[in-house]
Amino acid sequence: MLKIYNTLSRSKQDFIPIESGKVRMYVCGMTVYDYCHLGHARVMVVFDMINRWLRADGFDVTYVRNITDIDDKIIKRAAENHEPIDALTGRFIAAMDEDATKLGVEKPEHEPRATQYVPGMIAMIQALMDNGLAYVARSGDVCYSVHKFPGYGKLSGKSLDDLRAGERVDVAVGKDDPLDFVLWKSAKPGEPQWDSPWGQGRPGWHIECSVMSDALLGEHFDIHGGGADLQFPHHENEIAQSEGTHGHQHVNYWIHNGFVRVDNEKMSKSLGNFFTIREVLERYDAEVVRFFILRAHYRSPLNYSDQHLDDAKGALTRLYTALKNVPPHPSPLTPHGVAIDWHDPYAAAFKAAMEDDFNTAEAVAVLFDLANEANKTHDKQLASLLRTLGGVLGLLQRGPSEFLQGGAGESGCTPEQIEQRIAARIAAKKAKDYAAADRIRKELLDQGVVLEDTPQGTVWRRA
């Protein structure tokens, strides 16, 4: 049985869906005012992996990942750029989709945008006011009265006495309590605004996800996910809003992926160690980046460095090399994808790892065991299983040569130029000019190209 670490209970629990055989999952997506960074990459890849595994495990999954397209940072950036807000958000949504596609992230069933659900947000805020949990502050903002919700703090594990206003808790004039957070912001000049019972304004950040998840998954659903930075205050506030409105449990399992660090320091623009996905993909193959993310357990800190990316590239190269050396049989397809015999010892070990809180680190170790055995025995069935299990994680689906010969060496050598140098080396060897042949091999190696002499001839790959 699948076990999931539930942030709410701070323990691994058997996963029992609300509706047998079906999973409803909501993940907090991006605020689209800039290019996605490595932290966004981890969220997208981790929950894509979880979505893929749930489907491989036989569940019918409804996956929702929202887009925040109205927010203080969006308004500020659009003003700085002297462009309409929808032009800014449209541009960065397109960029996000490009980045996600390169990383092998499948599109969720639903990608709701906050601006499409403002009427529902107004309705939920009114319900909270009717339930005595919200009030109009002297500023004209509508705020949530945190101390009136008995369960506040249960996700973060903090008492009200211990809590401080979090990074994105708005400090509004006239709050009853500093911890109270804004549900509706009164209109300010030049900002987008909607009509409401409390006058012109726009929704606060937290209310967006409560309403979008309700609308697409219902008042009570299985899994809610996001980065660890969202646990408080965003997810804590979602619980307060949704459970304060409906009077019952909002989500059964809360999943949070760990932080991304850069050379063991927190990634931040102020430290100068902030990397967008696009910057990383200029230097590394997108599948290498995906592999780097998945070879670590999703809850552990992920430490980004050139050394770790180079190591990931070398490790993924070993897996693709096994597939090159032992070409797999074509895999039989079922209506739900590739058929897997989960009784096979390697497949069973892979499944056991994934059922243990999506332990991709152990699952990847199984892939290396398979690759070693396939290399040793030249068993095409093992190679097929390697490729198929890799596919469950969104890996190893390219032709081996496409991966091994992809990209460019330090000198920017093209495949045609490399083949010309190999032909020159072969000619030198035929002429018994072994010094020239060795020189060509070394020149190519210095340019990031490794030659391998096999019974079928000379083959090459990027170092």
Binding-site residues for ATP sit at 269
Binding residues for Zn(2+): 28, 209, 234, 238
Comparing CA positions, the residue from 273, 261, 202 lying closest to residue 229 is 261
Half-sphere exposure of 131 (CA within 13 A, CB side): 20
Cα-Cα end-to-end distance for the chain: 41
Q: Which two tokens stand for residue 151?
A: 């369960």
By CB neighbour count within 10 A (0-12 exposed, 13-18 middle, 19+ buried), where does 334 fall? exposed
Binding residues: 28, 209, 234, 238, 269
